[in-house]
Structure 1
């Protein structure tokens, strides 16, 4: 049987073909697929190791370290770095961090240190007694004073801080609600009003914005709802003849940091500086 070519209709021979011969092609080799999952996991593991190393260096208790998330760890590290920049080794540290827990418990509020731009540098541990948030939990709200204040007063606070920065040593005071814990809001119906009183001071010479720190005492303000007199520019008090407080307006908390109930029954002389007591007593007798 003869086989004919379908193209030229000529008989085919075993060694011939009318079709063009194709060159011998090398077997195709597909590019191997490389997964990036293992590389990404290796990077994440390396980052986690470094964060754990940073957490181990923080000057807090082991129990607190175990509760820190990576976000809280980075917030605390940034806080320590800002503090080291303002108060490098060999310079005088701010008064707040050197205070012990027993002395802090005697203060009517918590201590706060800010940089010239309003960044948090130091928050004393007793902040939890005022806001219901620990120092670490407060840092999770933000890294500046403006992140924890009521948004309605942020611009006013910014202006006061700029004014205080232009005149180092000048004391400024502002009152604002600060963010609190969920448990605190559920118990008291909202955030807490706090009076912040402080001044800028140079952490080292020469004085400059990069070396300026705002040192402040933050005291809770407790006034009744709708009491407009609580924010007056003065407070009024009634005394017995020996100057013991009988009554006092709620606005005393704004100016002195003491709750009204705490002052009633105490002597006015207990609030004076010891060096001024004799002069005040002489003026009292003259009346």
Structure 2
């Protein structure tokens, strides 16, 4: 049986055709699918392990560590690293008492230490009493002093710090609103105005920006209602003395201010309450009266 081509009507041979052949490509081997899901998970797991190791090194209680998020952990670690750069562990220990919470509670505000570039280096724990935010919560706002200030005051504060940096030892003061907790804003209608008074100090010699820190005391401009309730007792105490300054009477509010009961002071000399270095000056003023 002969088969003719329908196109040219010529007989066809086996496996032949007058039509042009279209090139056939051999099916290429499909590339193997490589998933990155496992690799990403491995990287995340490694990051989590490193963050947990850093968290374990922080000098805070185990209960506080459990409450730290990864963001708060990194903020605290960075704060500690900046502090270690300014105050190396092998440097001489600072003179004076260690600032514990009992001593900090006696201050009218909280302590603040900044680097030459305005980075936060140290914030005392009693900041929560002033702003309603703990150190960790405050660091979550950012790592510079400008992150915890009201945005409109940042430029003025920057100029003040530059001026203080040009003249180390010169005391500068500026007033600005600082960020507070939501509960504080709801109760008081906004952030809190704080007066910052401090100076740049060279921590090591020769002095350089890397070894210079701004040490400041941050005091609220107006006391909160809670503070007013605490100090609602007599702001002054009155006392009556004989000519040699011996107490013969004193109001009960002296206990709040000096820690002595009225009965303890009656019959005692006023000079016994003075610091020895102030006794001579006080005696001179007493004689002048």
Please indicate the TM-score interval, normalised by the length of the shorter structure: 0.7 to 0.9
Q: 1:140 to 1:281 in 2, by over 3 A?
A: farther
Alignment-derived partner of residue 285 in structure 2? 283
User: Equivalent residue of 1:59, what SS?
Assistant: coil
- Does residue 70 (structure 1) correspond to residue 70 (structure 2)? The answer is yes
Alignment-derived partner of residue 125 in structure 1? 125
Q: Deviations over 1:225-249 (max 9, x none)?
A: xxxxxxxxxxxx999797xxxxxxx
The two structures have a TM-score, normalised by structure 2, of 0.75
User: Equivalent residue of 1:90, what SS?
Assistant: coil
Mark the runs of 5 or more structure 2 residues left unpaired by the alignment.
225-234, 241-252, 259-270
- Does residue 163 (structure 1) correspond to residue 163 (structure 2)? The answer is yes
TM-aligned CA deviation for residue 17 of structure 1: 4.2
Q: Deviations over 1:17-59 (max 9, x none)?
A: 4456678853332223333333222222222221121111111
TM-aligned CA deviation for residue 142 of structure 1: 1.2
- Does residue 42 (structure 1) correspond to residue 42 (structure 2)? The answer is yes
- 1:58-137 pair list within 5 angstroms: 58-92=58-92, 98-137=98-137
Alignment-derived partner of residue 191 in structure 1? 191
Count of matched residue positions in the alignment of Structure 1 and Structure 2: 258
Task: Answer whether contact 1:127 1:134 (CA < 8 A) is retained.
Answer: yes
Question: d(CA) in 2 for partners of 1:95 and 1:165?
Answer: 24
- 1:111-260 pair list within 5 angstroms: 111-222=111-222
Q: 1:209 to 1:273 in 2, by over 3 A?
A: farther
Task: Answer whether contact 1:198 1:215 (CA < 8 A) is retained.
Answer: yes
- Does residue 53 (structure 1) correspond to residue 53 (structure 2)? The answer is yes
Alignment-derived partner of residue 2 in structure 1? 2
Q: Out of 56-65 and 31-40, give the one that drifted further.
A: 31-40
Mark the runs of 5 or more structure 1 residues left unpaired by the alignment.
225-236, 243-261
Question: RMSD in angstroms over aligned alpha carbons?
Answer: 3.6
Q: 1:56 to 1:241 in 2, by over 3 A?
A: closer
Question: d(CA) in 2 for partners of 1:72 and 1:160?
Answer: 29
Q: Deviations over 1:201-231 (max 9, x none)?
A: 111111111100111122222169xxxxxxx
The two structures have a TM-score, normalised by structure 1, of 0.76
